[in-house]
């Protein structure tokens, strides 16, 4: 007897296709992962997206009949006005009728969403933002990703191509960003940016690992150069978040990604700087700023429940 009480999630990246079965309590029951095989045809890759998802179902001891939905997070966006996946840089795809491909291989209702948005939704329903309706999630990793939740739903602009927090401008005419523009939040607040500034300042010595955590560790040990780098980094992040608070006045801000592992070394000065640099903070208060709880599972759990967006 089929139950339809489980959901199938897929996290698509340039390296791996990671699938999971998620239950009604937002628990992940099984996982499967296969190489993404970037460079192959759309047919081959989308066929593998279905294949690894079926593998996860099998591993959970269930069948497709037990699944109510297939949710997919990808580093891309589907234009809500054309239903085309506008670009997936990891595969070199552009304007792909993704749903036509996906439906060929899977008899389930399906929805594709930007992976940062799926992660924000996961934190909302099962993680750090449980119980809130209006949240902002910012992921500080290789880039700066963002997810905006308004009234319990993902908000990504009029055509679903917006919500690009990482590419709002923080420093007019500033550092070159990966997107080709100058001064984006991502060019100052990603882990990559912190590493860039640390290298430029000559922080790393021959034995030290050139990553963001090393900068935080050196700062904790009292290295003045590292302390200055972290202070600047947190100031940039606070300024960027202050703009988003002025617009969205979220009920909670969740910080995820590699940099968030610095914990209170990041959060204590961040909250303090936000008090000082945010429009209306003194009169109207500030939302709590907390660490993401679900790590990489946020995207899978959020994707599994994307159909709730339509209600």
> What CA–CA distance (Å, rounded) separates 47 from 40?
11
- Host H or E run for residue 13: none
> What CA–CA distance (Å, rounded) separates 264 from 204?
23
User: Binding to a copy of itself (CB under 8 A): which residues in 92-151?
Assistant: 94, 133-134, 148, 150
User: Binding to a copy of itself (CB under 8 A): which residues in 63-92?
Assistant: 79, 86-87
User: Binding to a copy of itself (CB under 8 A): which residues in 212-241?
Assistant: 236, 239-240
Query: Which CB atom, from 43 or from 159, has the smaller least distance to a copy of itself?
Result: 159
Rounded least distance, CB 243 to a copy of itself, Å: 4
**Which range of residues in 52-60, 117-125, 220-228, 275-283 is near a copy of itself by CB under 8 A?**
275-283
> What CA–CA distance (Å, rounded) separates 83 from 171?
34
Q: Is 181 a residue that touches a copy of itself (CB under 8 A)? A: yes
Site for a copy of itself (CB under 8 A): how many residues? 51
Query: Which CB atom, from 79 or from 208, has the smaller least distance to a copy of itself?
Result: 79
Close Cβ partners of 187 (under 8 Å, ≥ 6 residues apart): 170, 171, 174, 175, 176, 177, 178, 193
3-state SS, 80-112, equals: CCCCCEEEECCCCEEEECHHHHHHHHCCCCEEE
Q: Which of 28, 248, 291, 308 binds a copy of itself (CB under 8 A)?
A: 248
Do 219 and 234 meet the contact criterion of CB atoms below 8 Å apart? no
Joined together, the tokens standing for residue 184 give 């984006």
**Which range of residues in 16-24, 118-126, 197-205, 249-257 is near a copy of itself by CB under 8 A?**
249-257
> What CA–CA distance (Å, rounded) separates 72 from 306?
8
Rounded least distance, CB 34 to a copy of itself, Å: 29
Q: Is 193 a residue that touches a copy of itself (CB under 8 A)? A: no
Instruction: State the residues that interact with a copy of itself by CB under 8 A.
Output: 79, 86-87, 94, 133-134, 148, 150, 155-165, 167-174, 179, 181-184, 188, 236, 239-240, 242-243, 245-251, 277-280, 283-284
């Amino acid at each position: 007897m089929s139950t339809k009480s489980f959901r199938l999630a897929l996290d698509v990246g340039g390296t791996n296709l990671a699938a999971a079965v998620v239950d009604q309590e937002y628990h992940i029951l099984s996982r499967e992962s296969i190489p993404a095989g970037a460079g192959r045809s759309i047919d081959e890759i989308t066929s593998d997206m279905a294949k690894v998802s079926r593998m996860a179902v099998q591993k959970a001891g269930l069948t497709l009949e037990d699944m109510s939905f297939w949710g997919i997070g990808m580093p891309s966006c589907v234009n809500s006005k054309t239903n085309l996946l506008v670009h997936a840089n990891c595969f070199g795809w552009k304007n792909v009728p993704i749903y036509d491909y996906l439906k060929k291989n899977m008899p389930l209702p399906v929805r594709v969403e930007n992976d940062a948005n799926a992660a924000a939704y996961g934190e909302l329903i099962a993680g750090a933002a449980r119980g809130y309706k209006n949240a902002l999630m910012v992921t500080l990793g290789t880039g700066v990703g963002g997810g905006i939740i308004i009234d319990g739903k993902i908000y990504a602009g009029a055509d679903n191509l917006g919500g690009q927090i990482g590419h709002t401008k923080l420093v007019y005419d500033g550092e070159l960003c990966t997107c080709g523009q100058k001064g984006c939040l991502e060019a100052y607040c990603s882990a990559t940016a912190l590493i860039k500034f640390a290298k430029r300042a000559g922080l790393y010595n021959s034995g030290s690992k050139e990553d963001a955590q090393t900068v935080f560790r050196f700062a904790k040990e009292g290295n003045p150069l590292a302390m200055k780098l972290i202070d600047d980094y947190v100031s940039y992040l606070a300024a960027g978040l202050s703009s988003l608070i002025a617009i969205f006045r979220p009920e909670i801000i969740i910080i995820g990604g590699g940099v968030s592992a610095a914990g209170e070394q990041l959060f204590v000065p961040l909250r303090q700087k936000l008090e000082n640099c945010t429009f209306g903070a003194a009169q109207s208060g500030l939302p709590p700023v907390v660490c993401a709880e679900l790590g990489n599972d946020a995207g899978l759990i959020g994707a599994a429940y994307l159909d709730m967006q339509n209600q």
